Every structure is written in C-alpha cells, then in structure tokens.
Amino acid sequence: MMHTTAIDPSLPLCDLHRHLDGSIRLQTLLDLAQQHGIRLPADTPEGLRPHVQVVGAEAGLMEFIGKFRYLTEVLVDAEACRRVAEENVEDARAEGLDYIELRFSPWFMAERYGLNAADVVAAVIDGTRAGSERTGVKAGLIGILSRTYGVDTARAELDALLQHRDGLVALDLAGDEQGFPAHLFGEHFKRARDAGLHLTVHAGEADGPASVWSAIRDLGAERIGHGVRSVEDEALLDYLVEHRIGLEVCLTSNVHTSTVADLASHPVGRLLRRGVLLNLNTDDPGISGIDLPHEYQQAAPAAGLAADELRQIQANAVEMAFLQPEERDNLLRKSQLKHSKSDI
C-alpha cells in the first residue's frame, strides 16, 4: 500500500490533525445504529457512503461539517464513544502510522443524546489507550473547544476536558472560524496553558491571515490547524518561519471545504519553499474517504510536491508532534529499527 517514493520507511509516519468523530467506520455506524434502533438512510456500507462522505467539493466549511450528522447520530452512550476511539487507533495501525494525534470535541459528541461531556472524555481516553496497547501505535489526544457553541458552552467543555487533563496533550479550537473569532476564547486558552497543555488552533481555513495572527497573539497557538491562507500575508509567513509555528496541512480536506479550488492550486508548495514548518494530515478521513498514504501518494504529487519535499514534510511531523523529547527519540528509534529489520 505504501510506496517508498512517497513515504520514507526510515522515518515515522505521523498524522497530527485527525478528528476521531470524523473517522468512524461505516460498518460501525451500521452496528451501533442496529444495536440502538436508529434509522440510517441505508443499511449497507456502500449504501451509507454517499450520506457521510464527500462527493466533489462542499460549498464551504460549515456544509462540510454537516456531513457529521450521521456520525454523531450513533454516539448514543459512553461505550459507543469508547469503541470509536479504539477503532481510530486500530485504523491508524492499518494505515501504517507510527504516531497519531486524535482530536475531539466532547460537547459535539455528547450533544445529540445529552451525554455527560466529562464521561465522553473519559471514554475516549480509555478507548484510545486500549487501542494503543493492542496495536503499538502511540496516540496523543487533543481536546477541542467547539467555538460554534459560544463562549459559555466552551467554558463548560473546557471544564470537562480538564477533569481528565492527564489523558490529553493539547487543546484546540474548531468550528465556525468566521462567526466566532479566536479572541473570544482567550480566557479558555490561558486556563489550558496554565494546566500544561499544548495549544493548537484551527485558523486560516475559512478565514484569512488575521485569523492566524489572532490564534497566535490572543491564544498562544504553537501550531495552526490548516493555516493555508497564511500565504496571503508576507509578514505572517516571516513570523511563522522565525518562530517555527507549524501548519497542520490537510490537502484533500481543503478541497472538500472549498478552502482551495483544487489540489493544483493548493499553496502547500509555496509555503514549504518559503521555509514554513508544515506536515500532511487527513482531517476527517471518514468524511473525505481517504487515509494518510493517499495524501502522500496521490494528493501531494497533485499539489506539486516532489519526493524530497515529502520526506521533509514527514520529518517535520516528528518535530511538530506534541511529544516529550524522550518520546520523540523513542519514536525515531522505533521507526529506524523497524526499517532496518525490513531490509534484512
């Protein structure tokens, strides 16, 4: 499945921007629906696919998010959340990933059935841990504040996340970027920073460079989710390069959300050649119908990236990962050991 021309087997393969509630197996949707008496628009994986996966570009970010409808429809209880988290790590292993950071909004997952958000957090941590233990794939969890619910709900969502702070590596802000600007959530991110969490923020996707500046200045973002519209501001590019603030680039997703018109016009190559730290990720593979090898082998060449640039991107992901230095060293050592054994 993985070709060495696109993916370097001597380096870890990492996905740092994947929404676990946007990566639910079609069969799991059907299983949970049957188990809980939920009516879905189809009763086979192939019949269900067009209802949850993108066909062509969506009209925009919020329309893309609308594809989550049937995914959250089956998150009936904490056990369903735990199962989805565990399967996310199993699927990462099947893709050949060595490390994954999974992000989730407990409020978004809890809302449909009025679940306790802290219970959702605990279930996701438990499922992820079980998946890691079984597969050997290291996983970090990023809690999302869904800006679309507003400041007060985000405060309650943060409370739920911080109840289980030890199971998380970072905090993120996602949702309606234009309707709920980053500066509204300054207090929330200060609390997370004080709790020792890393910080990443969705910005420069549905909105322009000002959104990225705000994520950095108002929230203290160490990484930017997407951030591709940074290319419109030379001063911002200088800042990103100087401060090694990484962009979590999601090629196929950017086409599906109409952030870019097509892969050929994606600015990833310009950003990389400008010296911006960035990597490749899947975003919502269950909705986009992709995996990370697809992004390296098909999307990246279509976006004009060469083999040596892909190797650099793969190495960048290791640098950008929210890992302790010894964890990063272990990840590199493990990957090199695996590669050397495969050469024997």
Helices (H) and strands (E) in the chain — how many of each? 18, 8
The residue among 222, 217, 241 whose CA lies nearest residue 231 is: 241
Report residue 278: phi and psi, to 5°: -155, 160
What's the angle, vertex CA 245, arms to CA 303 and CA 278, rounded to 5?
Answer: 20
Determine which one of 73, 87, 101, 205 is catalytic. 205
Quick one: angle between helices 45-52 and 26-36, nearest 10?
Answer: 100
Q: Are strands 223-226 and 246-249 parallel, antiparallel or unpaired?
A: parallel
Pairwise CA distance, residues 234 & 91, whole Å: 39
What's the angle, vertex CA 80, arms to CA 74 and CA 81, rounded to 5?
Answer: 100
Pairwise CA distance, residues 6 & 44, whole Å: 33
Decide if 205 contacts 177 (C-beta within 8 A).
Answer: yes
Decide if 73 is catalytic: no
- Just list the catalytic residues: 205
